[in-house]
């Protein structure tokens, strides 16, 4: 990277300088919008986490102890919907993505700053509508299967509309990012010189733009089913309840890649920086993101092997599912190969990044049990599935987000995180996470179905262990958030490039000034020229 390091950050507070709520609410600065997304989504992570803990509390005993069955059903629905729609889908893309994309490609802002602000407020409007649905809390699970969702007394219609708005916001953000990445890259930043985080955000945005309209449409149809009884999903009127599941998973499978790809992008930045080595297999990682994004559209049926599709459809979806496993595996191998002969510093971002890889491998290796037809019949809709997706979503995406937050915290706030509490929290989280969720693999193999408010006594031991683990996990997360909050105000001032990273965001002061770059940089190589050579290319 030829760009000389900008001066160490002075006393200025960069883009955070301006004060007052108006300076935030009306801001067109991608960094501020990104920060607002981060606050909003992390709030829902904590709230969703509270519901997760209440679920675990109730599951300490086989019978209804703290909550009635109905309340339990409402709680896992809230937990799942909040985590998915209000935290994990918008979290990394709209939060870190907004903050980092222009900085990483050497731009002053995204392509359409006003649209960007509109997306944020659309997101908030969606949330407000969703809050209205709490009048009759949802009890359908986050999957809204018809005909149950067409019949229940809960406010499905209101909630559908809320999620429709949140989805709109997602589409607009995706569109904005695609145009930004195409149009606003600094001179010299060819496609193969883009940081891998940008590649993964590009793939993510494609999925958001292509898949999200489908869920929007599906929820509109569901609302019409409830309001006007159009009967599209109602067998009594010649409709088909399975059609809903096809629509739903046509969106919701690709969307698991919206959840995981950005985290993979963050990991691909952190691993080389802390190993002082170029990323191994740059092209393989970049292209596999795109491959995953496209192939991800062809495997939705693996959620429906026992739903009553034809056997032939089952077989085709099973084999396609296995073919998506390969590009995912390739990424993991590449990260591990990057470590080889590195000069590895185990600072907190790196610890979380390595944990991401560790847990994601467990999540990934339990996928084939569910992709394989014979075993899926037994395991689907049991706690095995709950364990599997928490390993990928929480062990994967959320650890990736934590890694990213630790890595970019100095850039976001201009202050350093305290390493000691960061590492303590990390250790507690790793222990708590595995106790909570590994146990669920076994409870699932024993046959305990998911979404069970009450369960036969023979499953109690496993559930108690899971609940104890969840308490440990929650404590670790609290320590971590305490560290974030404290260091936001008290942390030591951060230099421009505390980790000696080579992507462009580290060339500007921490926090960056509002216009990002005084002069737009010229790029002469790829951002992974660690070790040996100066400027290289992939």
Partner 1 sequence: MNQLFDIPGAASKISGEVDSVFLYILLVGLFFFVVTQGALIYFALRYRKKKGEPERETPYITSNRALETIWIVIPSILVLSIFYYGYTVYMKMQAPMPGAQEIGVVAKQWLWEFTYPDGRKAVNELHVQTGKPVGLSMTSEDVIHSLYLPDFRIKQDILPGRYTKMYLLPDRPGEYQIFCAEYCGQGHSLMLGKLIVMDAHEYAEWSGRQAGESQAAMPPARRGEELVKNSGCLGCHTTDGSPRVGPSLKGLFGRRVELSDGSSVTADEDYLKESMTDPGAKVVKGYANVMPTFKGTLSDADITDIISYMKTLK
Where does this chain bind Cu ion (CB under 5 A)?
A: 253
When CB distances are held under 5 to 8 angstroms depending on the partner's kind, the choice from ligand HEM, partner 1, Cu ion, none that residue 275 binds is partner 1
256: CB partners within 8 A, 6+ apart: 296, 392, 393
Q: Between 258 and 422, whose beta carbon lies closer to ligand HEM?
A: 258
Site string for ligand HEM, 418-437 (x = CB under 6 A): ------------------x-
Q: How many CA atoms lie within 13 A of 369 on its CB side?
A: 18
Q: Taking the complex as a whole, how short is the minimal distance between the CB of residue 393 and Cu ion, in angstroms?
A: 12
The CA distance from 497 to 506, in Å, is: 5
User: What sign results for the dihedral spanned by CA atoms 486, 491, 495, 499?
Assistant: negative
**Which of 88-96, 188-196, 309-317, 488-496 is the region at the interface with partner 1 (rule: CB under 8 A)?**
309-317
Report residue 295: phi and psi, to 5°: -65, -25
Question: Given candidates 260, 357, 472, 477, which one binds partner 1 under the rule CB under 8 A?
Answer: 357
Could you tell me the two tokens for 408? 């970019």
Q: Dihedral angle at the C-alpha atoms of 237, 242, 246, 248, nearest 10 degrees?
A: 80
Q: Taking the complex as a whole, how short is the minimal distance between the CB of residue 418 and partner 1, in angstroms?
A: 16
Nearest residue relative to ligand HEM (C-beta): 80
Question: Does residue number 486 form part of the binding site for ligand HEM (CB under 6 A)?
Answer: no
Q: Between 143 and 200, whose beta carbon lies closer to ligand HEM?
A: 143
Question: Given candidates 5, 378, 450, 486, which one binds ligand HEM under the rule CB under 6 A?
Answer: 450
**Which of 123-131, 375-383, 397-405, 429-437 is the region at the interface with partner 1 (rule: CB under 8 A)?**
375-383
The CA distance from 286 to 197, in Å, is: 9
When CB distances are held under 5 to 8 angstroms depending on the partner's kind, the choice from Cu ion, partner 1, ligand HEM, none that residue 235 binds is partner 1
Q: Which among 258, 341, 260, 249 has a CA at the least distance from the CA of 299?
A: 249
Is 204 in contact with 262 (CB distance < 8 Å)? Answer: yes
**Which of 2-10, 238-246, 423-431, 450-458 is the region at the interface with ligand HEM (rule: CB under 6 A)?**
450-458
Question: Given candidates 267, 354, 386, 417, which one binds ligand HEM under the rule CB under 6 A?
Answer: 386
Question: Given candidates 85, 300, 369, 391, which one binds partner 1 under the rule CB under 8 A?
Answer: 369
Question: Does residue number 394 form part of the binding site for ligand HEM (CB under 6 A)?
Answer: yes
When CB distances are held under 5 to 8 angstroms depending on the partner's kind, the choice from Cu ion, ligand HEM, partner 1, none that residue 365 binds is partner 1
Question: Given candidates 50, 53, 243, 373, which one binds partner 1 under the rule CB under 8 A?
Answer: 373
Is 82 in contact with 160 (CB distance < 8 Å)? Answer: no
Measuring CA to CA, how many Å separate 502 from each of 104, 251, 499, 517?
Answer: 10, 36, 9, 15
Q: Taking the complex as a whole, how short is the minimal distance between the CB of residue 214 and partner 1, in angstroms?
A: 21
Is 536 in contact with 278 (CB distance < 8 Å)? Answer: yes
When CB distances are held under 5 to 8 angstroms depending on the partner's kind, the choice from ligand HEM, Cu ion, partner 1, none that residue 536 binds is partner 1
Question: Does residue number 79 form part of the binding site for ligand HEM (CB under 6 A)?
Answer: yes
When CB distances are held under 5 to 8 angstroms depending on the partner's kind, the choice from Cu ion, partner 1, ligand HEM, none that residue 253 binds is Cu ion
62 secondary structure, DSSP code: S
Question: Does residue number 368 form part of the binding site for partner 1 (CB under 8 A)?
Answer: yes
In the three-class reduction of DSSP (H, G, I as helix; E, B as strand; rest coil), residue 415 is classed as strand
Q: Between 154 and 393, whose beta carbon lies closer to ligand HEM?
A: 393
Burial 340-376 (b: 16+ CB within 10 A, else e): eeeeeeebbbbbbbbbbbebbbbbbebbebbbbbeeb
396 secondary structure, DSSP code: I
Question: Does residue number 333 form part of the binding site for partner 1 (CB under 8 A)?
Answer: yes
Beta bridge partners of 415: 493
Q: Which among 297, 329, 278, 335 has a CA at the least distance from the CA of 532?
A: 278
Q: Between 253 and 411, whose beta carbon lies closer to Cu ion?
A: 253
Q: Between 81 and 176, whose beta carbon lies closer to partner 1?
A: 81
214-253 binders of partner 1 (CB under 8 A): 235-236, 241-242
Question: Does residue number 56 form part of the binding site for ligand HEM (CB under 6 A)?
Answer: yes
The CA distance from 319 to 129, in Å, is: 40
Is 113 in contact with 179 (CB distance < 8 Å)? Answer: no
- For the beta carbon of residue 277, count every other beta carbon within 10 angstroms: 21
122-161 binders of ligand HEM (CB under 6 A): 141-143
Q: Between 69 and 475, whose beta carbon lies closer to partner 1?
A: 69
């Amino acid at each position: 990277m030829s760009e000389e390091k900008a001066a160490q950050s002075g006393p200025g507070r960069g883009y955070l300088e301006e004060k007052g709520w108006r300076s935030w609410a009306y801001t067109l600065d991608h960094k501020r919008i990104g920060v607002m997304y981060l606050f909003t989504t992390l709030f829902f992570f904590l709230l969703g986490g509270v519901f997760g803990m209440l679920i675990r509390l109730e599951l300490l005993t086989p019978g209804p102890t703290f909550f009635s069955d109905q309340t339990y059903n409402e709680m896992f629905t809230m937990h799942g919907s909040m985590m998915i729609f209000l935290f994990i889908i918008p979290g990394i893309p709209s939060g870190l993505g907004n903050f980092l994309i222009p900085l990483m490609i050497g731009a002053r802002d995204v392509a359409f700053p006003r649209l960007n602000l509109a997306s944020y407020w659309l997101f908030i409007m969606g949330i407000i509508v969703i809050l209205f649905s709490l009048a009759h809390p949802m009890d359908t699970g986050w999957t809204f299967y018809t005909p149950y969702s067409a019949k229940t007394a809960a406010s499905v219609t209101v909630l559908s509309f809320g999620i429709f708005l949140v989805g709109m916001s997602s589409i607009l953000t995706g569109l904005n990012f695609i145009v930004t990445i195409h149009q606003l890259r600094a001179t010299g930043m060819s496609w193969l010189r883009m940081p891998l985080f940008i590649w993964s955000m590009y793939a993510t945005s494609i999925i958001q733009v292509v898949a999200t309209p489908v869920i929007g449409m599906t929820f509109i149809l569901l609302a019409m089913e409830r309001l006007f009884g159009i009967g599209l999903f109602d067998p009594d009127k010649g409709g088909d309840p399975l059609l809903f599941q096809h629509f739903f998973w046509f969106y919701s499978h690709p969307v698991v890649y919206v959840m995981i790809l950005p985290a993979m992008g963050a990991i691909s930045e952190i691993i080389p920086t802390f190993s002082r080595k170029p990323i191994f297999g740059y092209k393989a990682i970049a292209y596999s993101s795109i491959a995953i994004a496209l192939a991800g559209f062809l495997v939705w049926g693996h959620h429906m092997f026992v739903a009553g599709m034809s056997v032939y459809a089952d077989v085709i979806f099973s084999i396609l599912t296995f073919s998506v496993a390969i590009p995912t595996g390739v990424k993991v191998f590449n990260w591990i190969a990057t470590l080889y002969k590195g000069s590895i510093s185990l600072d907190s971002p790196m610890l979380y990044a390595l944990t991401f890889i560790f847990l994601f491998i467990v999540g990934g290796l339990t996928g084939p049990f569910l992709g394989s037809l014979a075993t899926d019949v037994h395991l689907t809709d049991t706690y095995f599935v709950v364990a599997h997706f928490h390993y990928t979503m929480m062990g994967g995406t959320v650890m990736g987000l934590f890694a990213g937050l630790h890595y970019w915290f100095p850039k976001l706030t201009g202050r350093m995180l305290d390493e000691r509490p960061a590492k303590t929290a990390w250790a507690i989280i790793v222990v708590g996470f595995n106790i909570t969720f590994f146990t669920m693999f076994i409870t699932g193999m024993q046959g305990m179905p998911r979404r069970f408010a009450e369960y036969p006594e023979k499953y109690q031991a496993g559930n108690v262990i899971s609940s104890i683990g969840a308490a440990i996990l929650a404590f670790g997360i609290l320590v971590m958030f305490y560290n974030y909050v404290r260091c936001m105000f008290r942390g030591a001032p951060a230099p421009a490039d505390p980790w000696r990273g080579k992507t462009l965001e580290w060339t500007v002061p921490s926090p960056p000034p509002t216009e990002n770059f005084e002069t737009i940089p010229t790029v002469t190589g790829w951002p992974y020229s660690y070790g040996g050579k100066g400027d290289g290319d992939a």
